[in-house]
Structure 1
Amino acid sequence: MTSLPLYWLTPNKQKIVNDLKCEFKNLVTEAIAQRQLKLPPIPQVVLNIQQLSLRDDVTIKAIAKALTEDPSLSGACVYASNSALFSPRFGPCHDILTAVSRLGIARVKDLITAKAIEQLKKDAQFSQECNALLTKSAGLSRTFAATMVLICQEFMKRNPQLELDAGKAMLIGLLADIGLFSLVSALSQYLKEGNYIDFELAKDVMAQCCAEASFSVLQFWQFDKDFLTVAGNRRMNHVDPEKPSYHDIATMANHLLLFRSHDEQALSAHDIELSADGADILYQLSNLDDQAFQQACQEVLQLSGM
Structure 2
Amino acid sequence: MKKLFGSFLFLSLIFGLAFSFPSSSNAANESFWIEGNVKEIHSVDEFDGEFVESNKTLLSEIKEEVRYYEVQGEYVDEYKTYKYDYTITKTAEEDRAVVATPYAYNKKENKILIKIGISDDVDDFAEQEGVTTATSESEHITLDENSSIEIMASKTRFYRTKWVDPINLQVNKVETEMTFNYNGSSVTSYTARDRREWLTATGWSESSHNLSHAFVGGRNAQAKTKSTMRNSAFCVGQPTTYVYYNTNNITVYYNGSASGNVSTYASGGCSSWLSYSTALI
Would the TM-score normalized by the shorter structure come out above 0.5?
no
More strand by share: 2
TM-score (norm 2): 0.25
**Bigger-Rg structure (1/2):** 1
